[in-house]
């Protein structure tokens, strides 16, 4: 199913409408910094959904934890792997879980899940080319868009939910495999299963 987000390039009238109605904003790094992201998380009333590939911005981590403490449902879908940072991703998962964030890991069916996205209250979408890292936000030229256009936000929500479903299916498959291995070990040891 093609994503409707790409319609912006092919329809200049839509782009002008989004800009005129303030439904589209461009973030430029370095420059805009982490503040728009932290402010958005701090403004969340119901939900925060974040897709993470690389992450080291403590300000964002604190904002996510604070959102949980305010009663906001916070979900993080974290990359299964990235080059050189897998241990850091697992540590991040543990810190976020300790803060009350619902954490899922992307499936491992592809070489990588490279998305960087933030959805606030299912009404505002941050679609980012940059990671949630100091290197990308403070020291690299990169871009992101922020939109409140309902169709674009809905498409991003569908994509995020698909990632969660794949993560849940992977977890269930791994659990089933672990149970089968345990059963085989018991059988090999002559114990009843």
Return per-residue pLDDT of the chain as tens, 193 residues. 333 444 444 566 666 666 666 678 888 898 899 999 999 999 999 999 999 888 888 999 999 999 999 999 999 988 866 666 677 778 888 999 999 998 887 766 655 567 899 999 999 999 999 988 889 999 999 999 999 989 999 999 998 888 878 776 766 666 677 777 777 777 777 777 6
Residue at 79 is within a domain: yes
What pTM was estimated for this model as a whole?
0.76
Residue 193 lies in a domain: no
Which residue range forms the structural domain that includes residue 25?
4-188
What are the structure tokens assigned to 47, written together? 């939900």
Give which of 94, 42, 37 is closest to 67, Cα–Cα.
Answer: 42
- 116 vs 34: CA distance, rounded Å: 14
Would residue 73 count as lying in a domain? yes
Round to whole Å and give the CA distance between 138 and 155: 29
Count how many domains the chain has: 1
Extract the runs of DSSP E, i.e. beta strands, from 53-169: 73-78, 102-105, 117-120, 124-128, 142-147
**33 within some domain:** yes
Which CATH number belongs to the domain containing residue 71 in this structure? 3.30.870.10
For the chain, give percent helix, strand, coil, nearest 5: 50, 20, 30
Looking at the domain assignment, is residue 183 inside a domain? yes
């Amino acid at each position: 199913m093609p994503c409707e987000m790409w319609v912006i390039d092919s329809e200049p009238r839509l782009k002008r409408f989004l800009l005129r109605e303030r439904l589209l904003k461009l973030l430029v790094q370095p420059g805009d910094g982490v503040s728009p992201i932290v402010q958005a998380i701090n403004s969340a009333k119901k939900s925060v959904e974040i897709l993470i590939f690389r992450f080291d911005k403590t300000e964002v981590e604190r904002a996510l934890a604070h959102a949980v403490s305010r009663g906001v449902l916070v979900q993080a879908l974290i990359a299964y792997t990235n080059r050189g940072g897998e241990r850091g991703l697992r540590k991040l998962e543990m810190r976020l879980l300790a803060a009350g964030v619902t954490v899922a890991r992307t499936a491992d069916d592809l070489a990588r899940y490279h998305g960087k996205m933030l959805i606030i209250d299912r009404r505002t979408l941050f679609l980012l080319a940059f990671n949630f890292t100091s290197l990308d936000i403070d020291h690299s030229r990169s871009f992101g868009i922020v939109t409140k256009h309902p169709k674009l936000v809905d498409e991003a929500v569908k994509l995020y939910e698909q990632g969660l479903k794949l993560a849940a299916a992977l977890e269930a498959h791994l659990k089933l495999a672990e149970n089968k291995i345990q059963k085989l070990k018991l059988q090999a040891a002559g114990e009843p299963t």
